[in-house]
Chains A and B, each alone.
Chain A
C-alpha cells in the first residue's frame, strides 16, 4: 500500500504545535522535507516541495505513536506512528489520507478510493494494521513536544465506541448497565457489622471513600489498592 500525497492546505484552526523541517517517511521511503502540524483533530504533514503535497491523519486512526530512539532499526530518532486506514472506513469517517482541495486531485482520489475499497474487502484482516509513518525533525529537541502534542490530541479524541473511554452518550452499553446493577446491589441498604463484615462488598464509590477516609489520619494507608 502506497501513500498518495495530495495537495493539502495548512491547518489554520486548533493548531497545537507546528514543527518545520520534518522529514516524513512511509515505512522507510522518504516523502521529503516538510512541516508537521499537530492540531486538535488531526496530524498533518505538508511537504515543503512545490505543490503543498501532504497528508492528514485523524486521531482515531493512529493506532500508536511513540518516540523511537533505536537507530539500529532506523537511522534517525523519530516519532513513529502506526496508522489504521480501515478504522476510518468502517466507521464511515473521512478517509485518513484526504484532500482538502479535492477537485484538483480527482485522479489521486480515485486511486485512493480503489485502494481503500480493496482494503475493505474480505481479506482486510490479513493486511495488518496498515501504515507506518515516521517523522524525523531536523532538531532532535522537537521530538518530545511533537510526541506530547499528539498524545494530548489522542486523549481529546477518544474513539466513539471504545469501552475504555466512556462518555455520557456511551453509557447505554452493557458495561455501564452492569456497573449500575452492581452499585444498586451493594448499596441496597445492606449494613455490615462486626458479625457479617466478611460479606462486605464495596461499590466503587465506597472503595474510593474508604481509601480517602482511611488513607489519612492515624490509620495505615492502603497503598496496595492504588498501585497500578
Chain B
C-alpha cells in the first residue's frame, strides 16, 4: 500500500445496496450493506445467513468484522 487514498468513490457504489458477504469460514450473509467503518467492519440490514446454500437464520442487523470477510459481491436480488 503505497499511499492512503480515499476509497469512498468505490464504496459509494455498493453502500446501501444488496450484497452477498462471504466469510472466510464459507458462510454467506445476504443483506443490505448499511454502513462500514475504517477497518472495513460492516453492518448489514435484513440479513439472511446461508450455509452450504441453505438459509440458516435471519437477522435484522448483522455486524461483521472486516478481517473475517473473504469477499463482498453485489447481489442480483
B11 at the binding interface (Cβ < 8 Å)? yes
User: Could you say which of A192, A202, A213 contacts B4, with CB atoms under 8 Å apart?
Assistant: A202
Interface pair A213/B39, CB less than 8 Å apart: no
Provide the residues of chain A in CB contact with B74, threshold 8 Å.
218-219
Provide the residues of chain A in CB contact with B15, threshold 8 Å.
192-194, 197
Interface of B is mostly: mixed
Interface pair B1/A191, CB less than 8 Å apart: no
User: Could you say which of A194, A199, A209 contacts B39, with CB atoms under 8 Å apart?
Assistant: A209
Q: A207-B1, A208-B1 are in contact. Are A200 and B22 (CB under 8 A)?
A: no
Size category, A interface: 35 or more
B53 at the binding interface (Cβ < 8 Å)? no
Q: Mark B51-71, 1 if CB is under 8 A from A, else 0.
A: 000000000000000110111
Question: Which residues 155-212 of A sit at the B interface, judged by CB distance below 8 A?
Answer: 183, 186-187, 189-194, 197-212
> Given the complex of chains A and B, what is the CA–CA distance between A207 and B4 in angstroms?
8
Provide the residues of chain B in CB contact with A205, threshold 8 Å.
39-40, 66-67
User: Could you say which of B14, B43, B66 contacts A209, with CB atoms under 8 Å apart?
Assistant: B66
> Given the complex of chains A and B, what is the CA–CA distance between A210 and B74 in angstroms?
14
B25 at the binding interface (Cβ < 8 Å)? no
Provide the residues of chain A in CB contact with B39, threshold 8 Å.
186-187, 202-203, 205-206, 209
- Cross-chain pair count, CB within 8 angstroms: 104
Closest-by-CB residue of B relative to A220 is: B10
Question: Which residues 15-68 of B sit at the A interface, judged by CB distance below 8 A?
Answer: 15-16, 22, 34-40, 43, 66-67
A125 at the binding interface (Cβ < 8 Å)? no
Nearest-neighbour CB distance to chain B for A194, whole angstroms, equals: 4
A222 at the binding interface (Cβ < 8 Å)? yes
Q: Which residues of A contact B (CB under 8 A)?
A: 183, 186-187, 189-194, 197-214, 216-219, 222, 225, 227-228
Would you give 16 A-B contacts (Cβ < 8 Å), ordered by A? Answer: A186-B37, A186-B39, A190-B37, A194-B16, A197-B11, A200-B8, A203-B38, A208-B1, A210-B11, A211-B1, A212-B69, A213-B40, A213-B71, A219-B74, A222-B10, A228-B2
User: Which 6 interchain pairs have the tightest Cβ spacing?
Assistant: A186-B38, A209-B40, A217-B71, A217-B73, A218-B73, A209-B66
